[in-house]
Amino acid sequence: MERRHARFPFFESAREAVQAADVEIGALVGGADDAAEADEMVVSRARERVETALSEGHVGTGNAGNETGMHRSTRIELLSYPIARILVSLLEEPMAIDAYARAEAATARQRLQTDLPEPGASDGMESGIGVEEPEFDVRELLGEFGLAEDVDGRDPFAVDVAVYLELSRDLGGEQWALVNRSLSAGRVPVDRAELYDLLERAVADRVADGLPLSVPDQIAVELDEPRETIESMLADAEIPLSFDRVEPAQFPPCVTALLERARDGESLPAHSQYSLVGFLGAAGMDARAIVELADGELDRESVDFQLAHVRDDQGLEYAPPSCASMDVYGDCVNKDERCDTINHPLSYYEVALADAAED
């Protein structure tokens, strides 16, 4: 197991390293092998990985003191990744999977920026991650995602238009619209930072691939405690669960921005529409009212489907995405002073309603 396997556990070479180590997941989570204490630390790191992903939008560990750090043990860090995928599958919540995948991708992006120096170190295309590490360059990275033939150049890079459209599908901002880009011979130019943006999306897709996993009962039982801890963390979030009125003027900036995008006829990414519908549903609106508020620009069937994931007949069942998750999605925009004091859009709305009532 190499250091880069632990830093980028979604790489094919990392998967092969786990297979070569002949680690049996059932024995690992049950602490049934000769390294029971170390295996307990693997499960603990996996739990931390998921908790931090869902609450803070990255999967770093406090051992390193920042979001791009990782556990000091390469083995523990690498093996925590497949266990984390199992844990997030056991939560049985689609948005948790999406948030987890994006958090892994956000952390990977920071690590890539650290491990791949800026152009000039080695002609911009053959930069290593350290004298003690195997060579790791941009071409190898592109090859990992099957993109070696789809990206040319150095900086700027030229990306195949079909790949560009696929990987930029969730990226907000007019700069990503194809009409605002140059297009030559079926390629779209992007700078190095933009290439990282696209690769971050590729990482999220790789992480989410195959999730949720079908988890054997024996393994699920062994992971009951960390799963319950994560579920408790989600349930204990201090956010309001009901409101007595709907006042769009008091919506948080992120929700207002999403609503404006929907009204403008933009086809919102699935996670963005879920955030919007989830917030409005939690605020007390039904599907018909949500579609009307969006000037009829949201599909009623999809709104019904997404609303069903937020609440049942008894009220709110799952809270819509937190501020941390909105930030990971790129939907945390136009922040104001109130945003600095809260950690959830519904909490913002609660405070805004109270302030408006006092005026």
Q: What is the number of structural domains in the chain?
A: 2
Q: What is the pLDDT along the chain (359 residues), one digit of tens a residue?
A: 788 889 999 999 899 988 888 888 888 887 655 556 668 889 999 999 998 888 777 887 544 444 445 667 888 999 999 999 999 999 988 778 888 998 899 899 888 888 876 655 444 444 433 334 434 678 888 999 999 999 998 888 999 999 999 999 877 678 888 999 999 999 999 999 999 999 999 999 999 999 999 999 999 999 999 999 888 777 655 677 678 889 999 999 999 999 999 999 998 887 788 889 989 988 889 999 999 999 999 988 888 877 876 665 555 556 678 887 788 778 899 999 999 888 889 999 999 999 998 87
Return the CATH number at 64. 1.20.930
Task: Please report, for residues 8, 54, 61, 111, 114, the alpha-carbon distance to residue 68 in angstroms, rounded to integers and kept in the order given.
Answer: 11, 16, 8, 6, 9
- Do 186 and 154 lie in one domain? The reply is yes
Q: Which of 186, 217, 248 finishes a domain?
A: 217
Question: Is residue 90 within 8 Å of residue 268, measured between CB atoms?
Answer: no
Is residue 338 included in any domain, yes or no? yes
Query: What range does the domain containing 76 cover?
Result: 3-217
Residues 212 and 276 in one domain: no
> 299: helix, coil or strand?
coil
Q: Could you tell me if residue 51 is left (phi over 0), alpha (psi between -120 and 50 degrees) or otherwise beta?
A: alpha
**Structural tokens at position 159:** 């990306």
Residues 205 and 337 in one domain: no
d(CA 11, CA 29): 22
Contact between 325 and 56 under an 8 Å Cβ cutoff? The reply is no
Is residue 312 a part of any domain in this protein? yes
Indicate whether 235 belongs to any domain: no
Is 224 a domain residue? no
Q: Are residues 201 and 244 both part of a single domain?
A: no
- How far, in Å, CA of 275 to CA of 281, rounded? 10
In a domain, 35, yes or no: yes
Q: Does one domain contain both 212 and 247? A: no
